[in-house]
Amino acid sequence: MELSQEALGLFRRDGFVNAGKVFEQDELAQIAGEYDRLVRKENQVLGNEEDGVFPYRAMLNFRSPALQAVILHPGLVAVAREILGDEIRFWWDQGINKSPGAGSRIPWHQDNGYHQGRTQEFLTCWLALDDSSLENGGLEAIPGSHKAGHREHGWEGVHAAIPPQSIEDEGAIPLDVKAGELLIFSSLLVHQTGGNTTEDRQRRSWVIQYCRGDQRNEITGEVYDNRPWVMRDGELATTLVAERPFDLKRKHA
Ligand X SMILES: O=C(O)CCC(=O)C(=O)O
User: Which residues in this chain contact ligand X in the complex, by CB under 6 A?
Assistant: 96, 98, 106, 111, 124, 191, 193, 205, 207
Smallest distance, Å, CB 86 to ligand X? 25
Alpha helix stretches (DSSP H) within the chain:
5-14, 25-38, 65-71, 74-84
- Return phi, psi of residue 82, to 5°: -60, -30
Separation CA 232–CA 131 (nearest Å):
34
Separation CA 206–CA 184 (nearest Å):
12
**Residues 124, 200 contacting (CB under 8 angstroms):** no
Smallest distance, Å, CB 132 to ligand X? 8
Strands 106-109 and 88-98 turn out to be unpaired
**Residues 224, 119 contacting (CB under 8 angstroms):** yes
Size (the chain), residues: 253
- DSSP, res 116: S
Give the H/E segment covering residue 20. strand 16-21
For the chain, give me the number of helices (H) and strands (E)? Answer: 4, 15
Separation CA 52–CA 39 (nearest Å):
16
Separation CA 229–CA 184 (nearest Å):
20
- Return phi, psi of residue 103, to 5°: -95, -5
| Furthest C-alpha separation in the chain | 49
